[in-house]
Structure formats: structure tokens, C-alpha cells
Amino acid sequence: MLTADIDVDRSIVTFRSEDDKTELTVSTAPLSTVEATPAAHLIPSPGVSAETALKQTAEIITSLTDSNGYIHIDFSDVISICASAAIRIIRFNAGDDPSKAFSDVLAAQGIDPSCCDGALINIGAPTNIGLAEATSLVTIVQEAIQDDALIIWGLSLDSQQKDTEITVILAEPEKELPVHDAFITQQHYDRKDAQMMQGETMDIPNTPIRFLDLIGLDNEQLKDFTIRLNGNKPAWFDVLDAYYSSHDALMEWMFIKQWPGEKVKGSFKQKKVLQFIQLHQEDPTKWLFIGAFEVLGEYQKEDGTVAYDYREIPQYAPLDARAVVYYKKRQGPTQLMNDMGNDELRNRFSETMTLDHLSQSPISSLPFPGFENVRLTHRQLVAAVGNDTWKTSLGSVQAIYLQTDRRTGWHYVGSAYSHKGAEQGLLSRWSEYAYGDHSGGNKRLKELGVKYIEDNFQYSILEIFDMRALPKDIINREHWWMDTLGSVYHSEDEHPHGYNSVTERNSDNPVE
């Protein structure tokens, strides 16, 4: 159970978990003056006092995370969006024209959504809303903000509710937000509305939900699609790993029609395609939906490879890397390409491809792969340290970890150990990199800047230790890895390639 404590004198609201651990601090003061981590900067709209804005924020966030939604929002989702950002919360009724309603409330509050790089969206709706309609509401927000923004959304259903109400937390980098901008709208918000958000929710029925029905594709519409099932073969290409670590390269691979000197293997017979990747190598029946795309034409590369141009169909994008489906392939060929123009295939997919589950956020669909296989972008790191499964694993070990600058190839080797009461090992250390300036106190990393790290850094684990290992033993291994990977920066080196300082390498004392 989440609690929210408001300190009017300090202009903050502190959200705490059941064990009284501070999970997030929201302040109406700039983040540069806030000592707590993680924290978010709340900017009241003109005419709204700091105290009123904090009370509204406390009530909205606790109501969103405490309700048992059809698609639930965890507090970790709130942290993923809000931490180290300036946030704005708006609420509006969808009405007959939700796009106009969203635009109107943005204009009324003077908000430019194109500056936002994250959004948490909760849809409170009657129980008769379809998932296709819900995702179309998410798309309205998604299309207004940055193309690469992190989107997390939830759906709460109430049999007593007549109108569909959308709550949006918009986040943008603190340094880019004018302090006088409007923030919270009062539109349609009172205690009765907050109670409505905590009303009855509809349980997911026990009978299988046909995925293609769920996304609004009837038999006739499905004829325009190919379904591509990309199997996971780590021996030569791990598609699940590639989706999270080399997304652009994977997408290019999935739209190859013909490799040089080979027969055509990836021909799309229809103008649209639904792409899936195998979720677990050992389970050929679970598939992660990664998007619907329109095939625009084909072109030939210099090496002779024939590939397709494509663009994503936005109405299905909110389900990317969140919808996991069950589908058991027939015995026989690989069934990579499945033409829905074929009546038999179309009927088979319509009847037997069912929804297994919807994840809260894209990282939730990624199973913890084992410590030796962890490799995360910064955006994935933020989601991972807020995800219960990953938190349990990362918090159970001490470790030597590696940060890699994918643009330059430079490395930073670090250690995470329990010291002076810190009991969460690697989780504690990686949480420091997820929020704030992402530097962990390292001077060279700090000089790179927040945006550079978010765009270019990758995080992996070199070696793990149980929680009883002594800090001095871990530090000795950390130094060994620094020397092995050459991660220490020496000014006299002709071609330096490390972010560790000489001081870090020579220090044998645990960090205070």
C-alpha cells in the first residue's frame, strides 16, 4: 500500500511503500534544490498554490497505483516516467472527439507536448470499451510527444462509469522546462472522481481471448496482413536480445526479402505485416508482439540485398513489446511468413492465437535472462530497477559491472557492494545510474551529460558475489577487470578508451 506525506513547509510530497521506504519525492522546487533521489519537479499552474498542487498530485498518483486495473500501473511505472524530470498532470474526458479534447486541455495549460520524452497514461472507462479503442486513445498522446518517448499506460474498467476519462503524466527534461509553464489542470477533478478511479474493475476472463479480435482485426481486414513469426535461435541470432539491444538492426533484418545469392525467403504477399518474436527459446508457443507495419515497397542495397521500406501503423504501437500471445505452430516448415490471404491459415490464426498476458511496460515482457546475459540500454535500465522481478534479482547480489559507451567503445568498470547498512547490492548502485545525472559521481561520465548517456550507454554484469562477500575482495576484482579491459584513463595514452580514473584504480577503500 502506497502512502503520500505532504510537507507544506518544504513544498514536497513523499511517496512511501509499506515498509516506510521513500520511493519518490515530488517537489514544487527545482530538482537542483532537492536532496532526495529519485525525485520529480512539479510545477503548479498559474493560480494554483503549491499546497493544492501537491495534494492533487498525491491523490492522483495513489489512486492510479492502488487500483486493480485491467492493465495495472505499478508505482515503478510512475518512477520510470517521473524520476529526474519535470512533470505535468492533465485529466480530460474523451467525449466524442478525444483528440480535440486532448489538444484543448494542452492549449488551456500552455503545454507543448513535443518537448516531452515520457508519458504515463491511465484510461478510466466503462467495461464495454474495446482494447482497440483504448489503444487509439494512447496513440493520440503518443503522436503528440517525441518519437522515441517512453510510453507506459494502464486501463481501469468500472461498470458504474459512463464516460471515459484519461489521466496523463507528461515528463520532460528538467533543464528544458520554463518554470512559469502551466502544469496541473483542475478539469473534472474532485474527490468523487478519485473514488471513481478506485471502483469496480473487470477481471480478465478465464476463456482465451483471441488476440486478433482484441486488436480489432476482423476476418476481412486480416486478409491484408502477413504474420511473421521470428523464432529465437541464439546459436546464430538471438532475436529477443536484439530487440532490446540492437533494435534498428533487428528491424532491418526482419524486412529483408532476399539475401545476395540466395532464394527469396522473406517475401510479404500482403501490404501489411504483424511482427512477432519468440519470447523464450525453450517455449515455441509464446510470442511477443512487436508491431504492425505497412509495407511500402522494396529496394536493393549495394551488396545486392533486397529489402522492404516500411512504416509502423500507429494504432497498434501501444502494445509493442507488451502483448504476449500463445500460438502453437503446425508441424512442418519454419512458418516464418504466414499469408493471411490464405483462408486456412487465416482461420487458424484467428481461432488459435490468443492473448497470454499484457505486460505493464516493455521491460516487463523481457524475462530476467540470468546475470551473465544482462545487457541493457539506459532506458531499459530505468525500467529494470523499477520492475519487481528484476529488482529481486539485482538486489540479491554484489557485483562487478560494466558500462559501455556504444558510440566510442569506451568502458567504465564499477563495483556494487553492501557497505555501512546498504543491503541491496547491485540494485542500489544501478538505481543511482538510472536517475539523477547518471554519472554515479564519476567526473568523466558527468561531463558527457545526461542526454548522451541516455542515448549511448549500455549496462552489463562482469562478475557476481553473494551478499556475504567482503568489500575489499570485490574491489580487488574490480581493479583486475579495469586492468583487463583497459578502462582506466591515462592522459599520456595515445588512444585512451576508458572512463575510470587513476584514483579509482588505486583506491583500496570502500566508497563511503
Q: How many helices and strands in the chain, by DSSP H and E?
A: 18, 20
Going by pLDDT thresholds of 50, 70 and 90, the confidence category of residue 295 is: very high
Average pLDDT for 159-184: 68
Q: pLDDT confidence of 188, banded at 50, 70, 90? A: very low
Amino acid at 401: Y
User: CB-hemisphere CA count at 13 Å for 352?
Assistant: 12
pLDDT of 203 above 50: no
Percent of the chain with pLDDT over 90: 32
Cβ atoms of residues 90 and 105 within 8 Å: yes
Give residue limits of the domains in the chain: 12-173, 211-358, 371-506
Residue of 2, 14, 5, 16 lying closest to 66 (CA atoms): 2
Element (H, E) at 345: helix 343-352
423: confidence class by pLDDT, cuts 50, 70, 90:
low
- Total Cβ atoms within 10 A of residue 401: 24
Q: What is the pLDDT of residue 379?
A: 77
Please state, in angstroms and as integers, the Cα–Cα distance from residue 352 to each residue in 211, 261, 272, 329, 355, following that order: 9, 37, 20, 10, 10
Between 6-20, 30-44, 119-133, 169-183, the lowest mean confidence (pLDDT) is in 169-183
Q: What would the pLDDT profile of 218-249 be if each residue is shown by its tens digit?
A: 999 999 999 999 887 655 566 776 776 667 78
Cα torsion through 451, 249, 289, 352, rounded to 10 = -170
Least Cα distance to 271 among 300, 292, 301, 290 occurs for: 292
Model confidence at 360, in pLDDT bands (50, 70, 90)? low
Q: Which three cell numbers mark 476?
A: 580487488
Q: Rounded to an integer, what distance in angstroms lies between the CA atom of residue 167 and that of residue 48?
A: 19
pLDDT at 176: 40
Joined grid coordinates for residue 86: 519535470
**146 three-class SS:** coil
Domain topology for 12-173? 60s Ribosomal Protein L30; Chain: A; (3.30.1330)
Query: Among candidates 199, 289, 212, 286, which has minimal Cα distance to 243?
Result: 289
Mean pLDDT within 59-77 = 78
> Nine-digit cell at 496?
585512451
Residue 466 banded pLDDT, cuts 50, 70, 90:
confident
Residue 364: what pLDDT?
A: 60
Count the helix, strand and coil residues of the chain and give each as a percent rounded to the nearest 5: 35, 30, 40
**Residue 443: is its pLDDT beyond 80?**
yes
For position 362, what pLDDT does the model report?
61
Select the more confidently predicted residue: 68 or 394: 394
DSSP 262: S
* Predicted pLDDT at 244: 65
Sort 146 into a burial class: Cβ within 10 Å, 0-12 / 13-18 / 19+: middle
**Greater model confidence, 183 or 158:** 158
Is residue 412's pLDDT more than 90?
yes
Side-chain-side CA neighbours of residue 126 (13 Å): 9
Q: Which fold has domain 371-506?
A: GIY-YIG endonuclease (3.40.1440)
**Residue range 122-146: mean pLDDT, rounded:** 86
Strand partners, 300: 306
Average pLDDT over residues 362-390: 78
Three-class HEC string of 449-495: CHHHHHHHEEEEEEEEECCCCCHHHHHHHHHHHHHHHCCECCCCCCC
CB atoms within 10 A of CB 348: 16
The radius of gyration of the chain's CA atoms, rounded to the nearest angstrom, is 24
**Look-up: residue for cell 554484489?**
398
Q: What percent of the chain has pLDDT over 70?
A: 85
**Grid cell digits, residue 355:** 492473448
Query: SS3 letters for 186-236?
Result: CCCCCHHHHHHCCCCCCCCCCCCCEHHHHCCCCHHHHCCEEEEEECCECCC
Say which residue the cell 489521466 belongs to: 167
Average pLDDT over the chain, rounded to whole? 82
Give Cβ neighbours of residue 350 (< 8 Å, ≥ 6 apart): 210, 212, 213, 219, 222
How does residue 196 score in pLDDT terms, banded at 50, 70 and 90?
very low
Q: Given a cut of 50, is residue 190 above it in pLDDT? A: no
| Residue 293 in this model has a pLDDT that exceeds 80 | yes
Tell me which residue of 104, 81, 108 sits closest to 172, measured CA to CA. Answer: 81
Q: Which three cell numbers stand for residue 493?
A: 595514452
Task: Report the pLDDT value the prediction gives residue 65, as an integer from 0 to 100.
Answer: 79
Min mean pLDDT across 359-368, 486-495, 501-510 is at 359-368
Average pLDDT over residues 129-137: 83
CB 485 within 8 A of CB 409: no
What is the average per-residue pLDDT within 329-346? 81
Q: Could you tell me the pLDDT band of residue 377, with boundaries at 50, 70 and 90?
A: confident
pTM: 0.50
* Alpha carbon distance 166, 164 (integer Å): 7
Range with the lowest mean pLDDT among 46-55, 56-65, 271-280, 465-474?
46-55
